[in-house]
Amino acid sequence: MNQEIKKNSIIRLFNVSKRYNGKFALKDINLDIEQGEFILISGPSGAGKSTLLKVLYLAERVSEGHILIDGMNLARISSSRLPLLRRRFGMVFQDFKLIPNRTVYENVAIVLEAAGEKPDYIRKKVMQVLRTTDMDKKAKALPQTLSGGEQQRVAVARALVGEPSIILADEPTGSLDEKSARAVIDSIMEYHKKGATVLIATHNLHLLENAVRGINIEITEGMIKRTATML
């Protein structure tokens, strides 16, 4: 399948397995993703899509195998370097993970604050990203007062604001109707065009199939079943 050698690989997995209590969530995955690729990870619920994303940003450690991110071996990353690794990723979590009691603005700004950016830059950049996801008018709102679609757009804004080289989005259209899903995908696509690598996990392939161009990796029961190019 993936026989040709890629030159600019940014994510490489070698025989990666992940077990939860002895049960495989990922089984012997080999993957080579090039800088700037757009990847759709599809498969039924429980296939291991979220797990695949989680091992990339070290929310979970692999049980076997190795992962290289931009040449860095994840097994070797010390806890003090972990934050630096994570700043390369922009993550959209399946459950959003917005901080309650913090405004939309604060939820997005936290990425830049954590990276030690200057206040002036933070203010400008956060508002700019909120505009691209059409959430700038709700900057002062609390997450619990937003609709599901709006929360998702905040989550996407937070993933983009740090200008990461890789976007990992777990069901970013999960709770959305077709129109809002389109809007969310569009803002990610927009960012992708600037050269970012994007991985989107979804069990709802047909919603995205026609919207994006890239590679679809289909997994079932923790294994890669099929890799196809979407046009």
Partner 1 sequence: MSHFIKKALTDIRLNRFLNLVTIFTISLSILVASVFLLFFENAGRVIEAWNQGGRVMIYLKDNFTMDMMPELKDRINGLGNIREIIFISKDEALDRLKKEILFNSDFLRTLQENPLPDAFEIKMKSYSSLEEVEAFAQKIKEIEIVEDVEYGQGWLGKFLKIFTLFKITGYAMCSLFFLVALFITSNTVRLAFYSRKIEVEVMRLVGATETFIKAPFYVEGILQGFFGGVLGLVILLITYLMISSGLTQNLSSYIYFDIRFLSINTIILIIFISTFLGWFGCYLSLKQILK
Q: Which residues bind ligand ATP (CB under 6 A)?
A: 20, 25, 43, 45-51, 94, 203
What gap in Å lies between CA 58 and CA 143, rounded to an integer? 26
CB atoms within 10 A of CB 24: 16
Alpha carbon of 61 to those of 51, 54, 157: distances in Å? 10, 8, 27
Cβ proximity to Mg ion, 88 vs 203, nearer residue: 203
Residues 6+ apart with CB under 8 A from 23: none
Cβ proximity to partner 1, 196 vs 224, nearer residue: 196
Only segment of 27-35, 61-69, 113-121, 129-137 that touches partner 1 (CB under 8 A)? 113-121
Asked if residue 18 lies in contact with residue 49, where contact means CB atoms within 8 angstroms, the answer is: no
Q: How far is the CB of 83 from partner 1 (least distance, A)?
A: 4
Record the tokens describing residue 150, joined without a space. 């709006």
Please tell me whether residue 124 binds partner 1 under the rule CB under 8 A.
no
47 binds, among Mg ion, partner 1, ligand ATP, none (CB under 5 to 8 A by kind): ligand ATP
Residue from 42, 50, 202, 216 in contact with Mg ion (CB under 5 A): 50
Record the tokens describing residue 100, joined without a space. 């309650």
User: Interface residues with partner 1 (CB under 8 A)?
Assistant: 57, 59, 79-80, 83-87, 89, 91, 93, 97-102, 110-111, 113-115, 119, 158, 162
